Amino acid sequence: MSTCLKNPLPLRQIMRRWLVVCLFVAAAGLAGQSVAAERTILVFGDSLSAAHGMPQAQGWVALMEKRLAARDADIRVVNASVSGETTGGGRKRFDAALARSQADIVILELGGNDGLQVLDVKQMRTNLAAMIKRARDAGAKVLLLGMRIPPNYGAAYANRFHDVFEHLAEQYDTAYDPFFLEPIASDRSNFQSDGIHPTAAVQPMLAKRVLADLQPLLERQGS
């Protein structure tokens, strides 16, 4: 005995429901792609990156974030820099900052305070290496920003200090800027009264410099 369906749905209504399902699936897929596409840059440094002596919005990190946002809305910048930070202090808090940010790229700008305090260069290297390895183990790319110290600290110490950054960049094959203050370093008027921290007026130059260093990493990740 044959069985007949009672009150079958009209074809138009069936098609309408099918279309709604398709649109929902497509929207869910696009949302997933948007989340996956977002990338995070963690800036982990000292007062040079913490906008010392000026509003945060005038510092090079905030200016870099603004420029990145203007061309790519799927990149966010987390600034975990602390004034006065040494590599030893940074190493202690690095894991937590990395975990919170879930960074895809880490800009590591530490070592200047180690040099100014004439701390042990071998320990500085160990600290920086530990942070680089942590970042790489978490799947993040690293941009290492090198620093220079004045020659009055002694040529032997200054040379060992400078070599740390270059050797680490070679050992771990990281992106590397030997001296990111180079565009402003030769003119003392570019620095605040302490002679150490750049003025607000030159922060755009630093943002431009670091963006140029960063670009190859962004391109490798599909920017």
Active site residues: 47, 194, 197
Q: Name the β-bridge partners of 39.
A: 75
Instruction: Please report, for residues 77, 153, 178, 218, the alpha-carbon distance to residue 141 in angstroms, rounded to integers and kept in the order given.
Output: 14, 32, 17, 10
144's enclosing H/E stretch is strand 141-145
Per-residue three-class SS string for 152-185: HHCHHHHHHHHHHHHHHHHHHCCEEECCCCHHHH
Calpha distance 210→143 (Å, rounded): 9
Q: Is 114 exposed, middle or buried (0-12, 13-18, 19+ CB in 10 A)?
A: buried
Calpha distance 104→106 (Å, rounded): 7
